[in-house]
Structure 1
Amino acid sequence: MIAHTVRSSWQTILADLSLILFMVTASALANTSDGPLGNDHDDPDAPRHAAQPPPPRPPAPAPSPIVPSARADAVGVWRPAPGAPPLGRWLAEVARDPRLRLTITVHYAPGGRAAALDQAAMLDRAAGARADTARIVIEPGLPAGANAVVGFDGAVDGGGMSGTQLAVHGA
């Protein structure tokens, strides 16, 4: 027996694909009203349909969720305690590098939000000039209290932060 194999050249395959592409394109253009194959009216007296208003825009996407700001490992931690230096003096001794960012965190027990805000404002004033770029976090949590942390988690692009950032959680 002699076996015949069906052979096709690449030109035949390319021609088949071209025809398929042509048919798909013609079908898509025939289904549009404003395309070159759409509903053309040769009669100038024929009634023309008014332009359809554009479809309503989809609603705006929901705002992205609030994510916590980046925090690096602490270079130094300050807590108010008997015998501890005042925050301003501690910052002058420990946080001399201007790339270090100060983060003041105040936790409060239920019903202590107003006192926590006052304590954060007092620590902000005590930090002096370093508070200009401080991150201040006030959030519910136990044990209630405050701390100040310095770390290399400030702006890395050299742009610097503009002003104190205040975030109140659980408001």
Structure 2
Amino acid sequence: MKGTSSFGWQTSLADLALILFMLSAASLHNRPAGQAKADLHASARSEPLAVYHAAPGAPPLDVWLEQQAADPRQQLTITARYGAAPGARDAALAEAARLLAEAGAHGRAARIVVEPGAGPARVALAYDVPER
């Protein structure tokens, strides 16, 4: 004789998932405070807050930088791209150096990325400052 039951395997699986969730939450809650802070790391590359393209007709970089809020947690990244033409990489390096000088005159340090590709140089402001 077969009895009918209102509980199936789905209900048992949901109960087990709930128990696992409660155990995980309890273990995270009870860990030492120092370990919790050690687990938080700044992203090496985060989403940019603001982007400047060094295209013809664009305002100078220092004007753009004046419009951005200063925050010591922010990192300025200059990305210059170069094509396959002879001397294109040197031209991209020169453009990156020019933008770095403009940022330095405004009191901002920056990292420089020079990579193959097309398009104007780009300056991005993001929360990318490496952990010290």
With a CA cutoff of 8 Å and minimum separation of 6, indicate the structure with the bigger relative contact order: 2
Show the counterpart of 2:82: 108
Structure label with greater radius of gyration: 1
Any idea what SS the aligned residue of 1:107 has?
strand
Q: What TM-score, normalized by structure 1, do the two folds share?
A: 0.46
Task: Supply the distance in 2 between the matched residues of 1:81 and 1:109 (Cα, whole angstroms).
Answer: 16
Show the counterpart of 1:93: 67
Please list every run of 5 or more consecutive structure 1 residues that lacks an aligned counterpart in the other structure: 1-68, 160-171
Distance 1:83-1:113 versus aligned 2 partners, 3 A rule:
closer
Matched pairs, number? 86
Which of 132, 138, 145 is equivalent to 2:114? 138
Q: What TM-score, normalized by structure 2, do the two folds share?
A: 0.59
Please list every run of 5 or more consecutive structure 2 residues that lacks an aligned counterpart in the other structure: 1-42
Show the counterpart of 1:122: 98
Deviation string for 1:68-108 (max 9, x for gaps)?
x9210110000123443211221121141121100000000
Would the aligned equivalents of 2:78 and 2:123 in 1 still touch at CA under 8 Å? Answer: yes
Q: CA deviation at 1:155?
A: 2.4
Counting aligned pairs with the same residue, the percent is 49
> Which structure: greater helix fraction?
2
Would the aligned equivalents of 1:108 and 1:145 in 2 still touch at CA under 8 Å? Answer: no
